[in-house]
Structure 1
């Protein structure tokens, strides 16, 4: 082993020991400090919550890179559920890129939505080089009669391929889909470096019109679209890729124009990415994100956390306070 590699290896060991000592110290401080991260037996990222039948279902990415890895290794997507926002049941992995005949590579951020009793899981992964695509990031959709699966490819091909979007030169710009249904009309937002949206048909598996470029300030990736009262919110990772912050814009329409409102989450510990997932459940608003604070964690071994989210009277969002305590059980 070279001197440089030896030094890097020592630094990595020191970092992992620091994370381990921090985690042990938090546990020793009492149970009130053990809520964040909420899942501790596997590494999870890119939270996408869904409320259905008095339960919160949480769809996540799954980090499996080794401690020494310097890139992502994400073989599948996971599903968890909770009735109190504290105790989470692991439903395993009902979907992976292998579930799609056209897909290859890693399982990036995804979101599941319900419509008319069916569950549509929009995922970002990569496309094989074939007659339909030259490769690059792509978005697929799987469907199930249950929020926990089994899921299957809904259309037998990608919904979005890299060739459909040409405003960015890099091949991984079609990632991180978020889908929102507004008065019967479904919208899908997504992107890396450039934010796009398209309307979806009622069947949820076909585009309904052209792809639009969204004019939104500081967008990097990871959009999350929702509505509260008369305002639409577009939340996303921004400011820079190393490290990211969560910023947002608002609009009177799901199609914009969008007014920039600022930063609501600062950098997270031990991870250069962060990713928003927002849900209202039993009268409270929750902000989900990931960091790298589990023992041996990091930017490629991330963990999901939950904290409360609060609004001002004018509808703007207060800064999210990241805590070790997390949230209290919902009664």
Structure 2
């Protein structure tokens, strides 16, 4: 009798859990470890460019050898297109493949990456930003300059050698392109129309609690700067707004709390088919952690005054859209 009761209870529990397991979506990529989401909407498709964590379970540092691309037309099912670029594709680069972002202009796709520069006549090493280009969001991508767009000696406001990382490129309605990046401080520079040359001096900002991972976009005439910030123990996400892509930036508050089981968090924001989405990474997959991260996505909601409601990080994720 007891055995029958136990079997019934366990079966009942399984039936109760089954809908929850089927409903759970986050993380959205489960076959590989991914981080630093950079979503791009193009031709009714979401392309998701990611870092690729390959560190072992026992590793105490990042191992990131290439950049991956995924795509979806319903925000629920994601196709893995595999690696499309690596530091080895840049003759001047060495080391790992850190956060990157792709911007489209006039039918070409510009892949801005952060990695490290070789110690040579031009640079004494340190973090650097490069740019590759392709005629398709899936590549093939090739180095667009033959040299780094930004290298360590070009910025001197921080003493550490990894402050030139995490590029975010935004093209305004008037066609002017801007690139934002940084660790420890936020940098910004205009880009020429060809998207591979600087157009003016580098500007420096210090948004409240800024650490790294800027994401810049425009909505209803207001410019948004979203970034990884100093949490109590781990990074979280905060944001600021401005009437100009060049600032000044007005601090608006915390957008998302720290991600579970990951010291870092990295935002990526899009509007797609009438809904707003917040991409980020956490460390919740089995054997995951700060060096084995996974990308997730949840809904994001605006208030009438343009401020953003705090994002709720969920296991359920988002529903499919047509």
Q: What range describes the TM-score normalised by the shorter chain of this pair? A: over 0.9
Deviation at 1:34, TM superposition (A): 2.7
1:265 is displaced (CA, Å) by 0.3
Judging changes above 3 Å, is the alpha-carbon distance between structure 1 residues 257 and 80 closer, same or farther for their aligned structure 2 residues? same
CA–CA distance in 2 between the matches of 1:139 and 1:121? 10
RMSD: 1.5
What does residue 21 of structure 1 align with?
A: none
Q: How does 1:271-282 map to 2 (within 5 A)?
A: 271-282=262-273
Q: Distance in 1 between matches of 2:148 and 2:211?
A: 23
Please tell me whether residue 181 in structure 1 is matched to residue 181 in structure 2.
Answer: no
Structure 2 counterpart of 1:117: 107
Which protein is bigger by CA-based radius of gyration?
A: 2
Segments ≥4 residues shifted beyond 6 Å: 24-27
Correspondent of 2:284 among 265, 275, 293: 293
- Is the 8 Å Cα contact of residues 26 and 33 (structure 1) preserved in structure 2? no
Equivalent residue runs for 1:132-147 within 5 Å: 132-147=122-137
Say how many residue pairs are matched.
308
Report deviation, 1:31. Answer: 4.5
What SS does the corresponding residue of 1:38 show, helix, strand or coil?
coil
Contact 2:231 2:258 in 1 (8 A): no
* Contact 1:27/1:33, CA 8 A, preserved across alignment: no
SS of alignment partner, residue 149 of structure 2: coil
Gaps of 5+ in 2: 1-13
- SS of residue paired to 1:125: strand
- Displacement of 1:32 in angstroms is 4.3
Instruction: Choose from 74, 79, 82 the match for 1:84.
Output: 74
Give TM-score scaled by structure 1 length.
0.91
Matching residue of 1:191 = 182
- Report the counterpart of residue 55 of structure 2 in structure 1: 65
Distance 1:26 1:186, change over 3 A: farther
**Aligned counterpart in structure 2 of residue 324 of structure 1, from 315, 318, 321:** 315
Pairing of 1:20-39 with structure 2 (within 5 A):
28-39=18-29
CA deviations over 1:40-96 (Å, ceiling 9, x no partner): 000000000000010000000000000000000000000000000010011111100
CA distance in 1, matches of 2:167, 2:317: 26
Question: Which residue number in structure 2 is paired with residue 235 of structure 1?
Answer: 226
SS class of match (2:153): helix
Change (3 A) 1:300 1:164: same
Q: 1:97 to 1:133 in 2, by over 3 A?
A: same
Q: 1:28 to 1:201 in 2, by over 3 A?
A: same
Contact 1:119 1:143 in 2 (8 A): yes
Which structure carries more strand by proportion?
2
Which piece of structure 1 moves more, 43-52 or 33-42? 33-42
Residue in structure 1 matched with residue 240 of structure 2 by the alignment: 249
Q: Distance in 2 between matches of 1:265 and 1:248?
A: 9
